[in-house]
Amino acid sequence: MPELPEVETIARELRETQLIGKTIDRAVVFWERSIANLIPKQFSKEIKNKTIQNITRRGKYLVFTLSDGWTLLVHLRMTGKFMIDVKEGDPHSHERVRLYLNDGRILRYEDQRKFGKWTLTQHPESILDVIGLEPLDTEFTLKAFKHLIKDKKRQIKPLLLDQHMIAGIGNIYADEALWEARIHPACSAASLSDVEVKALYQAIIMVLKAGVENIGTSLGAARANYFSVSGRRGNNQYKLKVFRRESLPCFRCGTIIEKIVLAQRGTHFCPVCQLNLSK
């Protein structure tokens, strides 16, 4: 569920809510497998009394820099979310981990589908260094993008979703970027012309920036859907051009948007605007 813009929004809200500088008095784990690399007992022991020094984002990971050289990496996968409470209370229905802070607040982590993972480590680089370029950083240049996709015969959409190539793009923003760039999601990366590569490069940056500015995409009304720490829903769902618009007219040419499956992911595109048969 949360892609780069949603994770970025959450990181910002966690900072804005003054978590930085607070100390973790105690941790409670309700679902063991939410902690990827430690048993709950070890996790609770190691995180106790650590101070939160910073909260940032790398790809789709939330990065909590803690005291004494420790880092907490949180990947929300499909349904992970954070909530902050001022008072003790029974665990919420999908609450998996809870951190008690020294200012009396409780940071709750909920994850309906239990796919999300927390990693508490002194060596975060082993995870963070193997993921790809940050698309909203200066390192993501047109030249770097060209280098990334040249000679890659694989389909362009699965490539965009590959976190080892570019970090943070998920199913929504991949479809949106390809529509903006007028590129068919199934065509081979290496087959793209220079003009198409540049258009796609600009589209990736554009759709991600728009997502961040609109504080993320919250689809549907269900509780499983993305909302930020404060419970606020994003607004980007109202700006989407193709994602989940199957059988509706393309905003550019009026053709009915199609939905296919690519790399086991629902994929939405306009069969006329995005018709580059180069493959």
Binding site for DNA (CB under 7 A): 1-3, 33, 59-60, 75, 77-78, 93-94, 112-115, 152-155, 158, 161, 163, 170-172, 217-226, 259, 261, 263-266
Nearer to DNA, 210 or 263 (CB): 263
Phi, psi of 74 (to 5 degrees): -120, 120
- 3 a catalytic residue: yes
Report CA-CA distances (Å) from 181 to 98, 172, 192, 226, 263. Answer: 43, 15, 11, 26, 20
- 108 a catalytic residue: no
Smallest gap, in angstroms, from Cβ of residue 38 to DNA? 17
Smallest gap, in angstroms, from Cβ of residue 265 to DNA? 5
Nearer to DNA, 41 or 113 (CB): 113
Question: Quick one: CA torsion of 106, 41, 63, 205, rounded to 10 degrees?
Answer: -100
Nearer to DNA, 21 or 266 (CB): 266
Nearer to DNA, 41 or 223 (CB): 223
Report CA-CA distances (Å) from 221 to 224, 234, 237, 243, 261. Answer: 8, 12, 12, 16, 24
Nearer to DNA, 24 or 80 (CB): 80
- 157 a catalytic residue: no
Measure the CA–CA gap between 34 and 136, rounded to whole angstroms. 29
- 150 a catalytic residue: no
Catalytic residue among 50, 60, 108, 117: 60
Alpha helices in 119-259 (DSSP H): 125-128, 142-149, 156-161, 171-180, 194-213
Q: Is the dihedral of CA 265, 268, 274, 276 positive or negative?
A: positive
Task: Please name the residues in contact with 175: beta carbons below 8 A apart, sequence gap of 6 or more.
Answer: 157, 185, 242, 243, 267, 268, 269
Measure the CA–CA gap between 178 and 196, rounded to whole angstroms. 10
Question: DSSP readout, 169-204?
Answer: --HHHHHHHHHHTT--TTSBGGG--HHHHHHHHHHH
Nearer to DNA, 52 or 192 (CB): 192
Quick check: 184 and 209 in contact, CB under 8 A?
A: no
Helix (H/G/I), strand (E/B), else coil: 161 = helix
Smallest gap, in angstroms, from Cβ of residue 144 to DNA? 16
**Catalytic residue IDs:** 2-3, 60, 265
